[in-house]
Amino acid sequence: MARYRGPRLRICRRLGELPGLSRKNSKKQAPPGEHGTKLRKPSEYALRLEEKQKLRFNYGINEKQLLGYIKIAKKVQGSTGQVLLQLLEMRLDNTIFRLGMAPTIPAARQLVNHGHILVNNIAVSIASYQCRPGDFITIKNQINSKNLIKKYLSFPGLANVPSHLELDSSNFTGKVNGIIEREWVALQLNELLVVEYYSRK
């Protein structure tokens, strides 16, 4: 399974802020582990690996899935790194998270897997579903589904809804108006290092 079940704050301390993985902040500043306080200049490979791990843990995907996205991004015309981020950002679980309907991406994935989400009035239970411009995202017409989303909307994971998304919080609906632009990606990341990591393997 792609879901990470381990301690999330430990990952955030090692890789930096990951808004999709956890909303919590650790009081400890040093990286985890026995040698966390030692300052060493990381190698080029270590830098690329760290950027790749940021993508994996933030979006909740496994190595095989990320490699698949890299292969798709290389076939599309344009910057491979930017296309890769667009593919990950347009996933259904991430779209729900960016609309504020879930506090984290794992919580959004659970909403999708449990059948609370409809895309264009059709129930979708696949978290990796690629949203397209014009898609309408609604909530199943059940009291428990609406109560859950209402609770999540009162404490959104991120402050701002990206420009390519539109949220109607009164009706619990969202609309995808376009493809996300690079400046709206919430993760602090150098995507070119991720592309380099896979090109050298």
**124 and 148 co-located in one domain:** yes
56 and 97, same structural domain?
no
**CATH number for the domain that contains residue 77:** 1.10.1050.10
The helix or strand, by DSSP H or E, that contains position 166, with its residue range, turns out to be strand 165-168
**49 within domain boundaries:** yes
- Confidence class for position 163, pLDDT limits 50, 70, 90: confident
What secondary structure does DSSP assign to 31-52, as a single string? Answer: PSSTTTT---PPPHHHHHHHHH
- Is residue 40 a part of any domain in this protein? yes
pLDDT band at residue 95 using 50, 70 and 90 as cut-offs: very high
131-157 tens-digit pLDDT:
999 999 999 888 888 888 888 888 766
Residue 119 has pLDDT above 60, yes or no: yes
Judge if 18 and 77 occupy the same domain: yes
Whether 129 is covered by a domain: the verdict is yes
Whether residue 3 is predicted with pLDDT greater than 50 in this model: the reply is: yes
Is 3 within the bounds of a domain?
no
pLDDT range class, residue 57, cuts 50, 70, 90: confident
Over 50: is that where the pLDDT of 1 sits? no
Range of the domain at 12: 8-87+187-199
